[in-house]
Amino acid sequence: MEMPLPDVLDRLSIAMLKAERIGDSCFVGEVIAYNEAVRQHIDAGLIKDTDVEECLSGLYHVNSQIWDLEADIWLGKEGELGLDEVGRRALAIRGWNEKRVGYRNKVYELTGLGFKDIKSNHASEK
């Protein structure tokens, strides 16, 4: 099964962040592969360049914010942060994930490709 475009754009934005922030050259290959998959969708007339740019930019921004909020937790610094700060970050991440779902669903609505991300019995449900 091919990867749906909302997933491709989301993963592309994360690969771009990894390439920038971690700097390992293996992430450049991911960026190239995901960009090629996006280009195929554009060339097939399934989505416009401008829509891709808008959604990719939004996903990049959202995933960047999530990364920043999660970074110290990934490094096991919960004790330094304190439970109040960890909880505050968890709530902020939930808010950013709501925006992330919004961009993914916008791609779905523009293309009809993939599946709409629907939250049920979830605090970010709209």
Sequence-ordered list of residues with C-beta below 8 angstroms from that of 87, at least 6 positions apart, any chain:
none
Output the pLDDT for position 9. 97
Output the pLDDT for position 69. 96
pLDDT tens digits along 3-41:
899 999 999 999 999 999 998 888 999 999 999 999 999
Letter for the amino acid at 31?
V
63-67, 74-78, 93-97, 117-121: the lowest-pLDDT one: 117-121
Band the pLDDT of 118: cuts 50, 70, 90: confident
**Residues 105, 117 contacting (CB under 8 angstroms):** yes
69 in the Ramachandran plot: left (φ > 0), alpha (ψ -120 to 50) or beta?
A: alpha
pLDDT tens digits along 79-112:
899 999 999 999 999 999 999 999 999 999 999 9
The reported pTM is 0.89
The torsion of the CA quartet 104, 57, 33, 97, rounded to 10 degrees, works out to: -40
